[in-house]
Amino acid sequence: MGPLDALIHLVNFFLPALGVAALAAALAKLLWWRELRGCGWLRLARWGAAGGSLALVAGLLVLGRDGKMLTYAAMVSTTALALLWAGWRVPR
């Protein structure tokens, strides 16, 4: 495997976390626009991506391989928790 192939594998490993975080942040801003007025979309997406990425890495380490449904469920859960943390703990 060459360096370009390794980079493509790495990007594809983290892409579900980034996609779920971006979609979840957009939906959260759409649904709770009054409550999240002081919190930017990029802040929500970064926190969600960080939480989802940590869940993917933990799932890979614990379960031994990528792509397990338990890992994806954990990714969605940690993304939601990270959005909750980032959105309702806005510094004033």
CA-CA distance, 18 to 50, in Å (whole number)? Answer: 8
In a domain, 17, yes or no: yes
Taking the CA atoms of residue 63, residue 65, residue 68 and residue 72 in that order, the dihedral angle to the nearest 10 degrees is 90
Domain count, the chain: 1
Please state the rounded mean pLDDT for residues 45-62.
96
Residue 38: the pLDDT is 84
Say yes or no to pLDDT of 90 above 80: no
In a domain, 36, yes or no: yes
Please state the rounded mean pLDDT for residues 25-36.
89
In a domain, 43, yes or no: yes
In a domain, 92, yes or no: no
Say yes or no to pLDDT of 92 above 60: no
Residue 13: the pLDDT is 95
The pLDDT tens digits for 77-86 are 999 999 999 8
Residue 39 domain boundaries: 3-87
In a domain, 32, yes or no: yes
Residue 34: the pLDDT is 85
Going by C-alpha positions, the residue among 70, 89, 77 that lies closest to residue 51 is 77
